[in-house]
Amino acid sequence: MARTPYICDECGRNFCRMTHLKRHINTHSNVRPFHCSACARSFKSKVHLTQHMRTHEPKPEKKCPHCVFTTKYSSAYSTHVRRHTKSFPYVCPTLDCRKGFFCKSQFIEHANIHNNKKPFLCPQCGKSFALTSYLKDHQRQMHSRRESFTCRKCGLVLLKQQELKDHCREEHSEEAKMLCHECGKVLSCRAHLKLHIFSHMKIKPFSCKTCGRKFNRKCNLQVHERTVHQKIRAFQCTLCDRTFTQLSSLKTHIRVH
């Protein structure tokens, strides 16, 4: 057996060279002698510094062949391209579901729905949720101090005044720019005309993550998830303590007062 005359007094590990022992001793202390010249970070070993320095090297932009999206990161590029090609690397094994996912984290969370698990707890009220997206929606709508803005024409609740203005202009404005040749309805932008055409073609591109129900508009999907699965009661009666999932239910209730 080869001699290893240099022994670490802290853990007893043996080394054949003094330089190796000195480098090892740094792991037992907070000394970080290797400093990055591009930022304030420092490291215990030269190997870790070298690995870190690669993060400062300029990376070529990767451009999506289907749209204008660009990114420096290979993982982000691959995930984005899959959205165009509908190539799902992760598919739910449940036979009556078979929902596909682009990201592994979303795929793992989705299993909570089938297993009736709700591991994500709200720190304010303790209510639990199967998905982190449900928890975030709950916190934003039930515990956020931000003012909400409700459309007077359709009851859609938005969190920003600018979003409400954009919604009213695009959904309810008389200054429409696009004409549906199928039924003559005018819409304010090409994106909304495309969604409207889906209604004639019976296409519903927005699917509920929980039950699979499909909708032709994203806002309808959001209302469905909020009221059916998350049971968020965002509309409160100002005359009593009762709350409701939909504005129409609140209006009906107010009549009893």
pLDDT digits (tens, 9 = 90+) for 124-163: 888 888 888 888 878 777 776 556 677 787 777 776 677 7
Q: Could you tell me the residue ranges of all domains in the chain?
A: 6-56, 62-119
Neighbours of 12 (CB within 10 A): 7
Alpha-helical (H) ranges within 115-246 are 132-138, 161-171, 190-201, 218-224
Task: Please tell me the class of the 62-119 domain.
Answer: alpha beta
d(CA 138, CA 125): 10
What is the band of 172 on the pLDDT scale with cuts at 50, 70, 90?
low
Predicted confidence at residue 1, as pLDDT, reads 47
* Cα atoms in the Cβ-side hemisphere of radius 13 Å centred on 162: 0
Assign domain 6-56 to its CATH superfamily: Classic Zinc Finger (3.30.160.60)
What mean pLDDT is predicted for residues 43-66?
A: 84
Backbone angles phi, psi at 197, to 5 degrees: -65, -30
Fold match flag (6-56 vs 62-119): yes
Q: How much is the pTM?
A: 0.37
pLDDT digits (tens, 9 = 90+) for 4-21: 678 888 788 888 888 888
d(CA 142, CA 232): 8
d(CA 129, CA 138): 9
